[in-house]
Amino acid sequence: MLDIKFIRQNAELVAEKLKKKKFDFDVAAFKALDEQRKQADAESQSLLAERKQASKKIGELVKQGIPVDEAKQTVNETLAKIEEQLNALKQKASQAAAALEALMMSIPNIPDDEVPEGNDEEANVEVLTWGEPRQFDFEVKDHVDVGEAVGGLDFDLASKITGSRFAVMQGSMARLHRALTQFMLDTHINEHGYSEVYVPFMVNADSLRGTGQLPKFEEDLFKIEGEQNYYLIPTAEVPVTNIARDTIFEEKELGDGLRFVCHTPCFRSEAGSYGRDTRGMIRQHQFEKVELVKMVKPEQATAELESLTENAEAILQKLNLPYRKVILCGGDLGFSAQRTYDLEVWLPGQQKYREISSCSNFGDYQARRMLARWRNPATGKPELLNTINGSGLAVGRTLVAVLENYQTADGGVGIPEVLRPYMGGAAQL
């Protein structure tokens, strides 16, 4: 959430900056709601003062010769009218505050000044490429056909069990998927200094509001309704970032920042994606990710986004998977993000780069929603943290990339060297 004080002082500037995200901020509507709330509050304060004075008038009326009972009745009638007006104003103020809160929750984060202009992914700007796509001397298959040839990757069985956009993995395929997960976790913990956390795979609505998925993106979520209402997590970003919700970290607790790595399944309805990537594992309702989350002081955020992105890149480099890094343009930038790098891995079966990780700096946008703060020892006052996260990596898409980039002419799949210790020393599926 943006700082309402900043918006009040810079409404037109905010509107101008949000145009980069193709968001039309209605300045007039914001000012009208804000004024309604302030006016209702001011009128309430005036009536409260009037009520206080009215309750003192019994004695004055008695001094004027009015009988005590009549004086009490007159004052009580006045107080009743004031109370009626106060109740009406309270309702008016509450409605205005709720409408203003809803408007504030609908406003996306302001993009960084360095974010390029553009309407969609076609305007994203390439920062670098790493590795050379392999040249094959045989007809290349996509991961669905490779998985069928090797065995152990079954979409029809998953469809029978559940429905479309799911997969069943068995045998060495399931082990390779697990090996990728363990390799990512070990690398981020042992080489990059992240602390592993295990979190619930279901969260409450407050957690999703804190990271920005609610209220805007409810249709993308799977909701569980029962004695208690929960949502299946769309990403580990939600529960891990909410570790800091309603918390003030002291300097010694925060240190150089909180750095977490977490492996979870992720659940997404993929609303609006009908007809897109229906084949294979690219876009599924259930998949797994190893997520990187940082919570740092504001002055650290820019550098920490760069290092987190490099940590995700390190996984691709160790697997020797060609990829490119792009900075998202304003029109493709996420709702809560200030700045995002996408890592896109080369898929020979599609002859294109596909996203495998998004690494974003959210500034204090999520922290303000969550009241995630640290105490600045220089002032003794709580200040908002900055949050950063990214996939390190999406496990299913990494499996897709390994199957396609390491396929062999005989229908097998070579196992990247760094994964062989996790595969019992096997060099091929």
Amino acid at 174: A
112: its two tokens? 């960084």
Residue 360 annotated as binding site: no
φ, ψ for residue 225 (rounded to 5)?
-105, 130
Length reported for the chain? 429
SS3 347: strand
Residue 94 annotated as binding site: no
Residue 420 annotated as binding site: no
Residue 248 annotated as binding site: no
Q: Which helix (H) or strand (E) holds 201?
A: none
Which residue is listed with tokens 């999703």? 208
Residue 236 annotated as binding site: yes
Residue 227 annotated as binding site: no
Buried/exposed 150-163: b ≥16 CB within 10 Å, e otherwise: bebbbbeebeeeee
The Cα 180–Cα 199 span in angstroms is: 20
Q: Taking the chain, what is the end-to-end CA distance rounded to the nearest angstrom?
A: 48
403: its two tokens? 């199957």
Residue 378 annotated as binding site: no
Chain Cα centroid distance, residue 79: 50
Distances (CA, A) of 235 to 19, 215, 220, 370: 28, 16, 12, 17
Backbone dihedral region of 337: left (phi > 0), alpha (psi from -120 to 50 degrees) or beta?
A: beta
Residue 269 annotated as binding site: yes
Residue 268 annotated as binding site: yes
Chain Cα centroid distance, residue 216: 12
Residue 421's CB: how many other CB atoms inside 10 A? 12
Amino acid at 328: L
Chain Cα centroid distance, residue 72: 59
Residue whose C-alpha is closest to residue 239's, from 273, 263, 270: 263
Residue whose C-alpha is closest to residue 420's, from 187, 196, 143, 175: 175
Strand-pairing partners, residue 224, are 230
Strands annotated E in 239-385: 247-249, 258-267, 286-296, 323-327, 339-347, 352-361, 372-376, 381-384
Residue 357 annotated as binding site: yes
Q: For 224-246, what is the HEC assignment?
A: ECCCCCEEECCCCHHHHHHHHCC
Residue 237 annotated as binding site: yes
Residues annotated within the binding site are 235-237, 268-270, 291, 355-358, 389, 391
List the binding residues for ATP: 268-270, 355-358
Q: Which residues are annotated as a binding site for L-serine?
A: 235-237, 268, 291, 389, 391
